[in-house]
Structure 1
Amino acid sequence: MSENRPTPDKAATEGAAPGRKLIAVLFGLTAVVTLMLCAFALPSIHSGPDHVPVGVTGSQGAADQLSQRLDSGTWDVTVYPDIESLTSAIEDRDVIGGIAVSSGKIDMYTAAAGAPSATSALTTLGSTLADQQQAEIHTHELAPFTEDDPRGAGFGAAGLPLVFGGMIPAMVLTRLFPGHPGLRMRLAGSVLFSLLAGAAVAALLQFGTGTLAGNYWLTSLGLSLGMAALSMTFIGLEALVGFAGLGAGAAVMMLLGNPLSGLGSGPYWLPDGWALVGQILPPGAAGSLLRANSYFDGTGALAPALTLAAWVALGLVLMLLADRRGRRTGAPVEPSQAQPTPATA
């Protein structure tokens, strides 16, 4: 009896297959690394103040003259009748800061915790104006970072934990409870993990590093909502599309959501148009919610909270669609549950 041996052409094809696979993997990984560099580097290179809302006040002539001098593409200026109106607008987050002009003196009113980079640019602008007019300058900080973390370094570092806090549990729960039978367990696990992780991260940032202020429970719930928005969306994508859906969602949040979140700089420091994209995605919305709850007593928290709730709803809808499809087609039997076929002679 002759043995079945591969023909030379077939053997050559099988030998070349691993080489082609290796080349495809190398080019794919190179593309991913390049995209990551572009996503993190380009916003930093092209960042700067863009239509930053600021207020000015003082004598009618001085305030109007100052508002006309400020570049309309950089600053979005509003003239207020007095200092009380200006400070109220800053505390209500209508503007990020303001300049009060009087005879021989310039007063700067800032809220560094709301937009650190834009506030720094505004302070530099005020110093330049004071030098030009040979006037004294006084700075009044209305919403500072905490004394333990005056630069907000811990706040800016919260971006990656937020993303990974949604991505990693989705991957682990999908592996532990796969298929349609495990969908509800994945949903329950996502909610419970988000609550626990939100409380832990808030405790570390508030009581450990002293980065956050405000009501601890409100802050922790905001962080939990951000993690739930990410993890439930990832789980819903995986349940409906498969692992490719989870990978695509993770790539979007890593390559776009994290660098465009504005956690370290504030949203007004991002390139034109990208700030809005960053605030629509969960990392940016979670950062804005955390900023509002921690430094502004909840002022400005409604919009990011509704954005995160919409992402949670999207994840639930995706899971519901996957659940209905699984009920129609019937849940597949897991390999570990399959009965062995009896051997026959």
Structure 2
Amino acid sequence: MTQHAASPTPAGQGRKLVVFVVGLAAVVVAMLCAFVLPSIHSGPHEVPVGVTGPQSATAAVSKALSGEKWEVTAYDDEKALTSAIEDRDVMGGIALSPDHVTAYTATAGGPQATAILTSTATALAEQQQVDVTVTDLKPFPEDDPKGAGFSSATLPMIFGGMIPAVALSRLFPGHSGLRLRLAGGISFALVAGFAVAALLQFGTGSLSGNYWITSLGISLGMTALSLTLLGLESLMGMAGFGLGAAVIMFLGNPLSGLASGPHWLPDGWATLGQLLPPGASGSLLRANAYFDGVGAGTAVLTLSCWVVFGLALCLIADRRGRRKATVENAAPAPRAQLV
């Protein structure tokens, strides 16, 4: 009976396995840090707020909100303060007078900032033994006063970009299906964007802005995600798609700041989150849904850059596919062997 000896491991295969295991472990740790660290260090970080009133009183507010957590700006009067809040120059403010304290908030801009400003104004009123009033200039809609629908919009927008990229790559594979994948990704983003906006605005009452503009904003975010993932898949296969999806889910999702606003994340993490499609999509949705588009410019520019990036990847993949097809067509056909 003949026994076959076990074939030795090819040279370099063991080293490749070690690199794979160590590299994958490093990626998992990095993704875990992206989830855990922002949560541990969450809280106000340079949140812009305004104050108006007598100089001594505004000094007291500035002292109460001192440190790196807040950026306090003094305004001449209450009208200037409320205008700054509506223009999103500040997230809220406190107006002081000898017999009254008023907290002006914008809950739709960040519920956590609203809560702290309200408690600060209440404490100041108790010290002065005067009445306190809280005026919410930009609240969530009455049908969804806590903004639950808005806060839960991140995953639908992310999956609205990821799912069509996966499905289209399977339905129309290869270079021949690239243009169909592009057309399908853009078409799906438009349809899904209007559907998601309709559900959130008319179904749950979570949004209160112009429906058409809000829908186009959601569609732009989905398009940015979808085209980027399609471009990565076209160039690198499913490895490229997996890399893009991991960045979006494990970095973009926790760093989007949709529920709290970006000022509630540490500075570096907040900046990174706003540069990724989920964060930019969330900021655009907030601006269109509650602030009449104020502050939407940066988010639109960021998402447009991602759209261009995805299209560029697809263009490179298209040219590479054409060159490959040309070489294959130009190659001489193998001669038939005579038996």
Common fold, TM-score beyond 0.5? yes
The alignment partner of 1:139 has SS state of: strand
Distance in 1 separating the partners of 2:244 and 2:293: 29
Counterpart of 1:302?
A: 297
Give the CA deviation at 1:61. 3.0
1:319 equivalent in structure 2: 314
- Out of 66, 78, 81, the position equivalent to 1:83 is 78
Letter in 1 for 2:138: A
Task: Read off the aligned partner of 2:4 and give its amino acid letter.
Answer: T
- CA offset at residue 104 of structure 1? 2.9
Q: Give unmatched runs, 5+ long, in structure 1.
A: 334-341
* SS of equivalent to 1:330: helix
Unaligned runs of 5+ in 2: 329-335
Residue 49 and residue 328 in structure 1: after superposition, are their counterparts in 2 closer, same or farther (change >3 A)?
same
Counterpart position of 1:277? 272
Task: Report if the CA contact (8 A) 1:163-1:227 is conserved.
Answer: yes
> C-alpha separation between the residues in 1 aligned to 2:315 and 2:286?
32
2:95 counterpart SS class = strand
CA distance in 2, matches of 1:296, 1:55: 18
Change in Cα spacing, 1:169 to 1:74, as seen in structure 2 (3 Å) is same
Following superposition, the deviation at residue 31 of structure 1 comes to 7.2
Normalised TM-score (structure 1):
0.87
Matched, 1:62 2:61: no
The DSSP-based 3-state class of the residue aligned with 1:314 is helix
Q: Could you tell me which amino acid in structure 2 is paired with residue 302 of structure 1?
A: G
Decide which of 43, 66, 69 is 1:71's aligned counterpart.
66
Shift of 1:280: 0.7
**Which deviates the most, 262-271 or 112-121?**
112-121
Aligned partner letter, 1:305: V
C-alpha change, 1:116 and 1:69, in structure 2 (3 Å) is: closer
Q: Is residue 4 of structure 2 the alignment partner of residue 7 of structure 1?
A: yes
For residue 134 of structure 2, give the secondary structure of its aligned residue in structure 1.
Answer: strand
User: In the alignment, which residue of structure 2 is the partner of 1:339?
Assistant: none
| Matched positions, count | 327
Task: Classify the secondary structure of the residue corresponding to 2:176.
Answer: helix
Q: Conserved in 2, the CA contact under 8 Å of 1:179 and 1:332?
A: no
Q: CA deviation at 1:293?
A: 0.6
Q: 2:220 aligns with which of 210, 225, 238?
A: 225
Q: Which of the numbers 199, 207, 210 marks the counterpart of 1:212?
A: 207
Shift of residue 131, structure 1, vs aligned partner: 2.5
Partners of 2:247 and 2:34 lie apart in 1 by 10
Deviation at 1:163, TM superposition (A): 1.2
> SS where residue 200 of structure 1 aligns?
helix
Letter in 2 for 1:170: A
Counterparts of 1:37 and 1:93, CA distance in 2: 33
**Structure-2 separation of matches of 1:221 and 1:57:** 38
1:122 counterpart = 2:117: yes
CA contact (8 A) 1:180 1:331 kept: no
- Using the TM superposition, name which of 33-42 and 272-281 deviates more: 33-42
Give 1:282 shift: 0.5
Mapped to 2, the partners of 1:49 and 1:39 lie a distance apart of 18
The equivalent residue for 2:288 is: 293
SS of aligned partner of 2:50: strand
Partner SS, residue 94 of structure 1: coil
**Pairwise CA distance, 1:7:** 1.7
Q: Share of identical aligned residues, percent?
A: 61
The answer to whether the 8 A contact 1:106-1:130 is kept is yes
Shift of 1:67: 2.0
* Deviation, structure 1 residue 32: 6.9
Match of 2:104 in 1: 109
Q: Which residue in 2 is equivalent to 1:337?
A: none
State the match for 2:95 in structure 1.
100
Letter in 2 for 1:100: A
Distance 1:331 1:146 in 2: 58
Runs of 4+ aligned structure 1 residues displaced above 6 Å come to 23-33
Q: Whole-Å Cα distance in 2 between the matches of residues 24 and 164 of structure 1?
A: 31
